[in-house]
């Protein structure tokens, strides 16, 4: 109310003290005044509590809005305010610490966790993990068990809690109990237990128990559950024993099954150059960082959310040189639309890191997704000028495609194909990619040859079968053979909207309109946001005499397109119908 001072907590304390003095003085002549003062005090306290609750609610709303609009920094500030006033609300504390870590503000996360932990009966698991991580980073190993004991983590966080306790024991020099802690932590979940075994093997390397580590790594490799850091340590141990060929096989098997990895590629190169590797023995902080990073990386492969970023922040607090976490965090940021933060994170990766080259590719994609095509192209051209390794050249070729620089992309892929051929290798994916590029450029004969080569190298690749079959059908050539290729592709990938569309379009070109409509309607259900499928269904409806439905599908396709010339083409089609009906439906 205007003209009235708000009653603060300090004022309440002073009035309370005055009231006590009046009572102690023995003055009994002001009984009514005292009663009135007591009422006012009660009302002031109630008002203060109401205002505090309203302020907390307002702060919560601002924080929630910031979270929904992808602003974790603002969310962290507001959630922190609510968490400190309501330390018993675990959900608020979780949100506050989560947002602070997601915003890469470890100090704020630690401050929230530390202040709340003094007031809360039960601790937020994420707050406990933050404090334990900080204790490990500062070599306060004896503090770790106590920091983790008042929480009730889920199965995923339990795995991390266990490994942090184990590395704390390792830091104290009790390596036997550290390894026993890991061995006794089996959850019964085969996937999580395989991660635990990888971490056990890494700890065995750290303790110098190489024979036990080799045995554990061997079991993981044979079961197909060896992770990248485990494969690196395993290969280093084998090479140190003079078993370079076995080390090469371990790395090649991992690459073949899991795909390119900077650590693996770097080790392979060193072995090919004749270098004998030695085992890297992680210290307590490196090991603890891996115990957080490894489950987080596994989680990242199973989710498209930015949740793993929270764990990357914790891992990097322990080991700032863990650039694997930095690269994956940047990828998560980029996918979440936080391109500026992704770019900043990638630029932190030093040139000396095995992840530097891959980070160049990630950086170019981040520029592209942020709309800065000029910087993306500049980085691509600069990277290619430096004669990068094969995997990075492939990334640069893909980027050139996305930048609509098809000729340059074809040149990149052609160069890689020639280099592969010189070393006696052939990769069907490169022929497929170049063939698709050439087809879009109108270079059909050479595109067809590339697609046929890709098919001969991998006769069961559904994308190749579909692309070649569809291209034949769309050109009115080899219709029956093309139809058979598309059918086979759909058998291999039955839930693909694109392949279902190809089969529907094949039937349209053959004049089988009822079958065409059936497949195309299914394709629209599977892939509702693809303009080409809606256009094809409209064409099939038109051929069946269902003109209103045809125009609706073409209108839908127009709403999904951005290019003005394509929209205008469909607008004309809505007025006149398809220019070219299937041969079977054309008038003689």
pLDDT tens-digit map of 439-485: 999 999 999 999 999 999 999 999 999 999 999 988 888 988 999 99
Q: What mean pLDDT comes out for the span 224-239?
A: 94
Output the CA–CA distances (angstroms, integers) from residue 101 to 60, 183, 316, 329, in the order listed: 18, 30, 11, 12
Q: Over range 6-23, report the average pLDDT.
A: 40
Res 192: pLDDT:
84
3-state secondary structure of 241: coil
CA 507 to each of CA 41, 476, 512, 519, 549: distance values in angstroms, whole numbers, following the listed order: 84, 12, 5, 9, 19
- 32: pLDDT strictly greater than 70: no
User: Which tokens hold the place of 200?
Assistant: 């056990």
Q: Count of alpha carbons within 13 Å of 531, Cβ hemisphere only?
A: 13
pLDDT at 424 over 60: yes
Phi/psi at 127 (5° precision)? -65, -45
Flag whether pLDDT at 367 surpasses 80: yes
pLDDT in tens, 135-180: 999 999 999 999 998 777 888 888 899 999 999 999 999 999 999 9
CB burial readout 306-332, b (16+ within 10 A) else e? bebbbbbbbbbbbbeebbbbbbbbbbb
pLDDT over 80 (residue 65): no
Q: What is the pLDDT of residue 85?
A: 62
Whether the CA torsion 358, 364, 367, 368 is positive or negative: it is negative
495-588 adopts what CATH topology?
1.25.40
Phi, psi (rounded to 5 degrees) for 567:
-65, -40
What mean pLDDT value characterizes the chain? 84
Mean pLDDT, residues 311-317 taken together: 96
In whole angstroms, give the CA distance from residue 486 to residue 504. Answer: 10
Q: For 407-520, where are the E strands, in sequence order?
A: none
Structure tokens at 113: 């966790």
With cut-offs at 50, 70 and 90, classify the pLDDT of residue 88. Answer: low
Q: Where are the alpha helices (DSSP H) in 259-335?
A: 262-272, 284-300, 308-318, 323-335
For residue range 292-309, list pLDDT tens digits in order: 999 888 888 776 676 788
CA angle 399/402/403 to nearest 5° reads 90
Mean pLDDT over 20-40 rounds to 46
């Amino acid at each position: 109310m205007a003209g009235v001072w708000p009653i603060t907590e300090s004022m309440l304390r002073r009035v309370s003290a005055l009231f006590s003095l009046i009572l102690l003085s023995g003055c009994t002549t002001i009984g009514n005044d005292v009663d009135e003062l007591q009422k006012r005090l009660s009302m002031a306290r109630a008002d203060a509590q109401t205002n505090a609750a309203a302020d907390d609610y307002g702060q919560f709303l601002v924080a929630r809005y910031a979270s929904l609009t992808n602003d974790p920094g603002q969310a962290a500030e507001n959630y922190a305010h609510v968490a400190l006033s309501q330390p018993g609300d675990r959900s608020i504390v979780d949100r506050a610490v989560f947002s602070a870590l997601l915003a890469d503000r470890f100090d704020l996360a630690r401050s929230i966790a530390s202040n709340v932990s003094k007031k809360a009966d039960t601790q937020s698991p994420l707050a406990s993990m933050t404090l334990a991580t900080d204790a490990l980073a500062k070599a306060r190993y004896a503090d770790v068990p106590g920091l983790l004991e008042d929480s009730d983590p889920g199965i995923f966080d339990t795995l991390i809690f266990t490994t942090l306790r184990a590395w704390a024991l390792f830091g104290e020099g009790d390596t036997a109990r550290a390894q026993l802690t890991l061995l006794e932590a089996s959850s019964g979940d085969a996937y999580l237990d395989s991660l635990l075994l990888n971490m056990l093997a890494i700890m065995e390397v750290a303790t110098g128990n190489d024979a036990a580590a080799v045995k554990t790594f061997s079991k993981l490799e044979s079961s197909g559950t060896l992770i990248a850091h485990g494969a690196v340590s395993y290969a280093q141990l084998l090479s140190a024993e003079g078993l370079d060929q076995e080390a090469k096989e371990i790395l090649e098997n991992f690459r073949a099954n899991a795909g390119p990895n900077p650590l693996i590629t770097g080790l392979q190169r060193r072995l090919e150059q004749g270098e004998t590797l030695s085992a890297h023995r992680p210290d307590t902080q490196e090991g603890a960082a891996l115990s957080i990073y490894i489950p987080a990386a596994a989680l990242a492969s199973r989710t498209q959310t930015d949740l793993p970023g929270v764990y990357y922040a914790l891992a990097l607090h322990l080991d700032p040189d863990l650039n694997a976490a930095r690269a994956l965090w940047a990828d998560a940021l980029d996918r979440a639309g936080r391109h500026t933060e992704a770019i900043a994170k990638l630029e932190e990766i030093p040139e000396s890191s095995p992840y530097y080259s891959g980070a160049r590719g990630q950086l170019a994609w981040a520029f592209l997704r942020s709309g800065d095509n000029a910087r993306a192209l500049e980085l691509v051209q600069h990277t290619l000028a430096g004669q990068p390794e094969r995997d990075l050249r492939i990334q640069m070729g893909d980027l050139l495609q996305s930048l609509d620089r098809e000729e340059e992309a074809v040149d990149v892929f052609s160069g890689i194909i020639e280099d592969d051929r010189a070393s006696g290798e052939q990769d069907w994916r490169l022929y497929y990619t170049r063939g698709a590029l050439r087809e879009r450029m109108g270079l059909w004969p050479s595109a067809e040859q590339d697609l046929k080569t890709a098919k001969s190298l991998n006769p069961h690749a559904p994308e190749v079968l579909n692309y070649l079959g569809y291209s034949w059908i769309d050109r009115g050539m080899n219709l029956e053979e093309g139809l058979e290729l598309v059918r086979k592709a759909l058998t291999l990938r039955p839930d693909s909207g694109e392949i279902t569309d190809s089969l529907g379009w094949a039937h349209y070109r053959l004049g089988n309109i009822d079958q065409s409509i059936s497949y195309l309607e299914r394709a629209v259900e599977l892939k509702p946001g693809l303009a080409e499928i809606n256009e094809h269904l409209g064409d099939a409806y038109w051929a069946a005499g269902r003109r209103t439905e045809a125009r609706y599908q073409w209108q839908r396709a127009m709403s999904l397109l951005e290019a003005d010339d394509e929209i205008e083409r469909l607008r004309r089609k809505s007025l006149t119908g398809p220019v070219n009906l299937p041969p079977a439906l054309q008038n003689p």
